[in-house]
Amino acid sequence: MMPFAVTTQGAQQPAPAQKQYGISSPISLAAPKDTDLELTQKLIETLQPFGVFEEEEELQRRILILQKLNNLVKEWIREISESRNLPQAVIENVGGKIFTFGSYRLGVHTKGADIDALCVAPRHVDRNDFFTSFYDKLKLQEEVKDLRAVEEAFVPVIKLCFDGIEIDILFARLALQTIPEDLDLRDDSLLKNLDIRCIRSLNGCRVTDEILHLVPNIDSFRLTLRAIKLWAKCHNIYSNILGFLGGVSWAMLVARTCQLYPNAIASTLVRKFFLVFSEWEWPNPVLLKEPEERNLNLPVWDPRVNPSDRYHLMPIITPAYPQQNSTYNVSVSTRMVMIEEFKQGLAITHEILLNKAEWSKLFEAPSFFQKYKHYIVLLASAPTEKQHLEWVGLVESKIRILVGSLEKNEFITLAHVNPQSFPAPKENVDKEDFRTMWVIGLVLKKPENSEILSIDLTYDIQSFTDTVYRQAINSKMFEMDMKIAAMHLRRKELHQLLPNHVLQKKETHLTESVRLTAGSDSSLLLSVDSENGISAPSPTGTMKTGPLSGNPQGRHSPVLAVMTASVTNIQFPEVSLQHVSPIESSGIALGESIPPIPSPPTISPPPKPTMTRVVSSTHLVNHPSRPSGNTATNIPNPILGI
């Protein structure tokens, strides 16, 4: 039987009380009450309009497509086996199989979602065969569209659209002569003698299968996870690449909640989810099972051994060997935002329990564009659609580097990037180009004993764009007219770039006023003032980066970012800042199936702009040094957890 998940919400069967799930005893074994059943039914009804449940007809269509794909794999492997003159007895039983992982395997995929799949082959079929003969076989299928191979990716993949369903297919070659139908990928012995790319490809299936085996009630887990994933997407905290959490991380948090409340159903589990993780003592790791050593010499997450692991801010550890931290991208700001969202979710679910609110309130989008007074807007543009897709992907993957740099500034309390990107208006209506933008909200901290604060962010922006261009050049992706621009907009100016339906939100959270001004060369400064401070006219600060014509280094050498700005220091009597709890140290990237960012080639950096603290209109008192990095958080016992 193929491992295809079927999503149903059946009768709840409480798990046996004597069995312990996870690394600790459950918090509560209470069975659901009538009110819990009613609230769960209301939750299902609330989720329906959001398209989180797939119709049975569509589900059967997916199963049929995967069966066709599975038959193609078997046919292809048999052909390879015959071409290599294997014995007929081996050919008859050679096998080969398509496994699924991710949201589809977990049973929480939404309407129109793609499918993550893994092609498992025996030892005489190699990766080159997968990207040549199997690719050619797929090309001959009339149902297959948009076929493309990404062979040089960290986890090599073939992408395609099969009869209208997007599918990503990874490849793993096992050290087996044949692939049996009942193969269990959770068997750690399968990892012996495999190359690292096969181990990475297997990781998704192994983690997904392990999660499903570690939860007490799969139906309750699935419904809870559907609700939490929808909530995270509505609240703009669903993005691994930008430093929030991705699908597997949300799944593990929900699975841990299910372990702590093994007999609870979805309405209770959603509330307990917010309770547990709003109070969680980060950076203590979230673990679904005790880590086990398999002596296969593979790198695993272990802060007792790996110093870099001690810097991870919000570790959520995958349950399958080799254990990895799935949240290596989380930063001080993104963790701060997520914890605040956990607390708000807890408050809302408490209101729902008391019949003071409906479930729909939990899924209301927050007012990101009303929450802050000032924003940095990043804009990526390219002349063709194909170049734009590649360029946007690269820029987005590096935004967290800029956020991390901003966080190290002693006067920036929070740099909150909205994971949702937006199309940007064209700069020149007569010239065809493709433009995408991201928005970062800022919270500044008033310095002690001072009336004026000027923050120069030129170096931060310049370092970010330098990193993006360097990566584009090294990967031979860069083309002329691929550009990055950075600009400042106050809240009341956002309408210049964003449509009204995006900006119109219910809530308003005022933080502080920040002024960014433009004028002279090579500096980007923020000046803080109050609502009643002296106003000064200043055009929007804009930075554009890109290659200049006549560059002696050639067309593939972009000029580093140069921001034009002038200093306007504005005095203010007092600034009222929104209270933010102190957060522990920042982190170092290291995570599941994704390599740490390689150190860039050595180049001469641009001059480091000064950051000045002004205490009067005429006296400059000091030049604070830029923090060199984050200090490690002491973890007395790194394998602790509730």
Question: Could you list the active site residues?
Answer: 103, 114, 116, 168, 229, 238
Residue type, 180: P
In terms of phi and psi (left: phi > 0; alpha: psi -120 to 50; beta: otherwise), the region of 489 is beta
CA end-to-end span of the chain:
36
Q: Which residues of 39-52 are buried (b: 16+ CB within 10 A; e: fewer)?
A: bbeebbebbeebeb
**Angstrom distances, CA of residue 247 to CA of 51, 154, 241:** 17, 19, 11
Specify whether the CB–CB gap between 373 and 490 falls below 8 A: yes
3-class state of residue 210 by DSSP: helix
Residue 548: both structure tokens together: 């200049």
Residue type, 232: A
Would you report the helix, strand and coil content of the chain in percent, each value rounded to 5? 35, 15, 50
User: How far apart, in whole angstroms, are the C-alpha atoms of residue 453 and residue 413?
Assistant: 14
Place of tokens 């002696």: 552
Q: Write the CB contacts of 138 (distance below 8 Å, at least 6 apart in sequence).
A: 72, 144, 147, 158, 160
| H/E segment holding residue 71 | helix 56-83
Specify whether the CB–CB gap between 329 and 417 falls below 8 A: no
Is the peptide bond preceding residue 322 cis, with omega within 30 degrees of 0?
yes
User: How far apart, in whole angstroms, are the C-alpha atoms of residue 395 and residue 241?
Assistant: 11
Q: Sign of the C-alpha dihedral, residues 497, 502, 503, 509?
A: negative
User: How far apart, in whole angstroms, are the C-alpha atoms of residue 228 and residue 189?
Assistant: 34
Place of tokens 């419904």: 223
For residue 407, count other CB atoms closer than 10 A to its CB. 21
User: How far apart, in whole angstroms, are the C-alpha atoms of residue 465 and residue 395?
Assistant: 9
Specify whether the CB–CB gap between 153 and 102 falls below 8 A: no
Place of tokens 């009222």: 576
Residue 357: both structure tokens together: 């609110």
Say if strands 157-162 and 165-173 run parallel, antiparallel, or are unpaired: antiparallel
3-class state of residue 267 by DSSP: helix
